[in-house]
Every structure is written in structure tokens, then in C-alpha cells.
């Protein structure tokens, strides 16, 4: 039997950007349905049809319709409606459980902490990479907090920061830089893992190499717009959807 949520801890609004991924959204919302520590779930939907909207509304989530897929804008639009003390920006293809939300609420009960993210672990299908997890964990403590680490931030602090930049790539990387400069952040357990779909489709090492190259280009000053155009042109003319991102799949 679950213990009731602790009303003395900060409340959490879960923000989910989505684009034509109804299967992942359905699974994510089913997981959140078992978590009574969440104040609300808000979906920023930029899908081409109403499938994701119907799934979200049937699960009791609020939906913000977005005119085009841009993860930064989608998350900003959804966050503008949030009422929780803390905003949790969560990707639909990343696991979530009550243990994650409880850990987040306990962490944010420290008023000095402005935000943070979760440590990462490899998808269970990648058993040959488990040895890398302690290394990645050490790196994560001071490096970029990526979107698939489910970044969280106090709502009022997020508003003061001006939200995410509406760039087509690396909005998480750009926001992470500013968040770390703005105050104390925490990386917390339990660690998260995301779907390994990209690795299955394109090959694990190829997917990792493409992500690495895109990140290095951005760090060298190449505009996210230019990287985005190049990446999706190579994906056989795919439309301007959610970007390549750093992930431990």
C-alpha cells in the first residue's frame, strides 16, 4: 500500500513535449497515472493530427496545442499554464515512477536548490555498456544536464530565466548552461533511462557518433539552425521535428 503524498513538500507539474509519438505518450501517461505525488501533467503537443491530444486528454492531462514542432517553444507554452512549485520537463520515451517524483520533491525541499536533473543509466538492452555508468555518473555531476535527464527547476526561477530558447537544437544544453550559472543544482537518483529506438534503427555506435559530432559542432559555434538542417536532410528530408539529442539509450 502506498503512503499518501507529503503535503509539506513542493508540488510538481510534469511538462511533456510531444510530436507524433502516440505510443510513447500513452506509455508515459500510464506510468504517471500510478504516481499520486504529481500535481498535474501538461502536454505541449505539436503533432500533425489529434491522436496525441486525445490520448493526453483521456489520461486527464492538460494539452497545449503548438503550431509547429519546436521543443523549447512547446515546453515554454506548457510551462506557462503550470501551477506547481517545481516544473519537471520530461520526455515521453523516458521512464518515470513514483520513486523519481518523491526524490525530486525531497531534493527541492531545500530552498537553496534552483533545479537539476536525474542521473542516467543505460537501457537494459545495452548490457555490454553497464561498465560505463559510473564514469558517466561522475561526468554528469558537472556537465550538461540533457533533456532526457528530465530537467527540473522551480517555476518562479524558470520564469525569471526566461524559459527555454526557441532554437531547433540543443535547447536543453543552452538552458543547462544558464541554470548552472543561476544557482545550486542537484543531480539525483534513481537514475533514468530512455528508449533505445534510435540506436536500434540506426545502429548504436552510429547514433552515438552522430550525436557526438552534432554536439561538438554546436560547441564550436555552428548555429543550431544549420546543424538541424544538415541532420534532417540526411534523414531523407524528414520535417523539422524534435531534434537529435544526447541520450543514454
Q: From first to last of its 249 residues, what are the pLDDT tens digits of the chain? A: 566 788 899 999 999 999 999 999 999 999 999 999 999 999 999 999 999 999 999 999 999 999 999 999 999 999 999 999 999 999 999 999 999 999 999 999 999 999 999 998 766 565 666 656 667 777 777 788 999 899 999 999 999 999 999 998 899 999 999 999 999 999 999 999 876 555 445 456 666 677 778 777 878 888 878 877 777 665 544 444 444 444 433
pLDDT over 70, % of the chain: 80
Tens digit of each residue's pLDDT (9 = 90 or more) over 62-119: 999 999 999 999 999 999 999 999 999 999 999 999 999 999 999 999 999 999 999 9
Third-level CATH fold of 12-195? Spore Coat Polysaccharide Biosynthesis Protein SpsA; Chain A (3.90.550)
Provide the grid cell at 167: 532554437
**Inter-CA distances, 33 with 16, 100, 144, 192, 216, Å:** 14, 14, 30, 18, 38
Beta strand 152-154 with 86-89: parallel, antiparallel or unpaired?
antiparallel
The verdict on whether omega for the bond into residue 128 sits within 30 degrees of 0, i.e. cis, is no
At 107, list the grid cell. 531534493
From 100, 109, 83, 115, select the one nearest 32 (Cα to Cα). 100
**Whether 113 contacts 57, CB under 8 Å:** no
Of 99, 79, 130, 111, nearest in space to 32 by CA:
99
Instruction: Output Rg (C-alpha) for the chain, integer angstroms.
Output: 17
Nearest to 78 by CA among 45, 52, 56: 45
Q: Are strands 115-120 and 185-192 parallel, antiparallel or unpaired?
A: parallel
| pLDDT, the chain, mean | 85
Structure pTM?
0.85
Name the burial class of residue 199, with classes exposed (0-12), middle (13-18) and buried (19+) by CB atoms within 10 angstroms of its CB. Answer: buried
Amino acid at each position: 500500500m502506498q503512503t499518501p503524498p507529503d503535503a509539506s513538500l513542493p508540488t510538481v507539474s510534469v511538462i511533456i513535449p510531444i510530436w507524433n509519438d502516440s505510443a510513447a505518450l500513452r506509455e508515459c501517461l500510464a506510468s504517471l497515472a500510478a504516481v499520486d505525488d504529481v500535481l498535474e501533467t501538461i502536454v505541449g503537443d505539436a503533432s500533425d493530427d489529434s491522436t496525441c491530444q486525445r490520448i493526453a486528454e483521456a489520461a486527464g492531462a492538460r494539452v497545449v496545442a503548438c503550431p509547429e514542432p519546436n521543443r523549447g517553444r512547446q515546453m515554454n507554452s506548457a510551462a506557462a499554464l503550470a501551477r506547481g512549485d517545481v516544473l519537471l520537463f520530461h520526455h515521453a520515451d523516458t521512464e518515470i515512477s513514483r520513486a523519481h517524483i518523491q526524490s525530486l520533491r525531497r531534493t527541492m525541499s531545500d530552498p537553496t536548490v534552483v533545479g537539476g536533473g536525474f542521473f542516467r543509466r543505460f537501457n537494459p538492452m545495452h548490457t555490454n555498456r553497464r561498465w560505463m555508468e559510473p564514469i558517466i555518473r561522475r561526468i554528469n555531476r558537472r556537465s550538461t544536464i540533457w533533456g532526457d535527464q528530465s530537467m527540473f527547476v522551480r517555476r518562479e526561477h524558470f520564469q525569471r530565466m526566461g524559459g527555454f530558447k526557441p532554437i531547433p537544437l540543443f535547447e536543453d544544453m543552452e538552458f543547462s548552461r544558464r541554470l548552472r550559472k543561476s544557482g545550486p543544482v542537484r543531480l539525483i537518483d534513481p537514475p533514468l533511462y530512455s528508449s533505445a529506438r534510435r540506436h536500434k534503427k540506426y545502429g548504436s555506435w552510429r547514433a552515438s557518433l552522430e550525436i557526438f559530432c552534432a554536439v561538438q559542432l554546436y560547441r564550436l559555434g555552428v548555429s543550431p539552425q544549420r546543424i538541424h538542417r544538415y541532420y534532417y536532410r540526411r534523414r531523407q528530408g524528414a520535417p523539422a521535428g524534435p531534434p537529435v539529442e544526447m541520450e543514454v539509450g
